[in-house]
Amino acid sequence: MGLRSNGIVYTIGFCLFGGAACEPTSYAAEHTIELQFNENSIHDSGFEGEFSNDLAATTSRWFRAGESNEAGIQFTGAHTLSGSQSVVFGDYTNNGSIAQNVDLQIDPTKHYHLSFWIRVDDSSEDDAHTSESSLQAALYSAPEKGGPYIHRVDLLENATVPAGAGWERMEATVSGTDLDSHDGEYLQLRLSKVNENSSHKIYIDNVSLIEKETAKAPHPISRLVVGGNLVYDHEPESTWEDGTKIELMKHLGMSNLRYPEGGQTRFWDWEFPYHDHPYRNFWDPAYEATLTEQRKAELKEQNGYRLSLDRFLEICEETGAVPLIGINMTQGWKYDRLQDSVDKAVRLVQLRKRQNRRPSLLLSVQRSRQ
């Protein structure tokens, strides 16, 4: 794939059904796409820094505003969309805001597009906390950079998502013509927790404010574009114990993780992942005949080091990644047991629903082309 920007072409090759490189039997494609990049006016959009105490005219960092309990609004690593931190409105009782003085002046001929990711989670144990957990997004402006800033327009009111549903994106656009009486004034973005006595904490991450020529919203690139591959036979669980890999995944922003791999999915038995070889045709009648209870106990002892499905799902929880789990249809196709393959996949999905660990699940169906 080629990406063209300002006369420069960036080429990315990809193949389907190939391995490390595209084989002659693989399907390959190459495209050129011209991209227009819009500069995000928000400094530290992913909350990787810290709140600023310097509210002078030159500051462009996040600061708290109108929060009676400043400890309630914090940078946190508890839930993150990407990177190592997000910001949490953690005080159930009080409301409050975060704000940033951005280096933009109102231009009536332009449009201003806001987007951010929001998550509602961690319910209060106080029965009096029943209000909706929601945010307001607004633009303020001032003739001089540094203020005083005055409210001009609301971009979003009562922005929220279902509690426990994970991260969702919020977007809004305002035309500069709605602000033409304040032409040339400096902008401030303010995100505010609306209600007191709210039922849950509110997390936000990856904020952007973009000045555009048109009202058309920028085309978002899915956060799932950056992911990793965990090969269950090559990732002993012991190598994840000290947390080093977890922190690395979070730092790199791995937003989805695939398991148990690509080609190995065609041989993966999620209910007994201890076979003598990761590429074993486990429904081969001759092999099945050897699987006495004693032999299965021996295999589990020998291969219990492999990265289990449960540990993989824990890793996804700890890193904030969406799990991409392979579904093995090869064995059913190869040995005329398609319904058994379907039933096996259904049991996996049902287990996930009972565990209710994360709301997101992607399934990759693997079937041999041979």
The number of domains in the chain is 3
Does the residue 155 lie in any domain?
yes
* Claim to verify: residue 95 and residue 151 sit in the same structural domain: yes
* Claim to verify: residue 208 and residue 243 sit in the same structural domain: no
* Claim to verify: residue 174 and residue 266 sit in the same structural domain: no
Asked if 282 and 265 touch (Cβ cutoff 8 Å), the reply is no
What's the CATH code of the domain at 72? 2.60.120.260
Does the residue 301 lie in any domain?
yes
* Claim to verify: residue 81 and residue 197 sit in the same structural domain: yes
Does the residue 173 lie in any domain?
yes
State which residues of the chain have pLDDT below 70: 1-38, 53-60, 66-71, 217-223, 355-370
Does the residue 288 lie in any domain?
yes
What is the tens place of the pLDDT at every residue in 17-69? 333 434 433 333 444 444 455 689 999 898 988 887 554 434 448 998 764 55
Asked if 344 and 270 touch (Cβ cutoff 8 Å), the reply is yes
* Claim to verify: residue 139 and residue 229 sit in the same structural domain: no
Does the residue 40 lie in any domain?
no
* Claim to verify: residue 272 and residue 305 sit in the same structural domain: yes
Last residue of a domain, one of 220, 245, 260: 220
CA distance 357 to 216: 37
* Claim to verify: residue 68 and residue 179 sit in the same structural domain: yes
* Claim to verify: residue 69 and residue 211 sit in the same structural domain: yes
Does the residue 53 lie in any domain?
no
Angle among Cα 57, 61, 62 to the nearest 5 degrees reads 115
Does the residue 48 lie in any domain?
no
* Claim to verify: residue 71 and residue 212 sit in the same structural domain: yes
Domain that holds residue 11: 2-34
* Claim to verify: residue 98 and residue 82 sit in the same structural domain: yes
204 phi and psi angles, rounded to 5 deg: -135, 155
Last residue of a domain, one of 220, 252, 279: 220
pLDDT on residue 362: 55
Report the predicted TM-score, pTM, of the whole model to 2 decimal places: 0.60
* Claim to verify: residue 279 and residue 248 sit in the same structural domain: yes
Last residue of a domain, one of 220, 239, 267: 220
* Claim to verify: residue 76 and residue 174 sit in the same structural domain: yes
Residues 6+ apart with CB under 8 A from 155: 114, 137, 138, 139, 172, 173, 174
Does the residue 44 lie in any domain?
no
CA distance 361 to 352: 9
For residue 138, list its beta bridge partners.
Answer: 154, 190
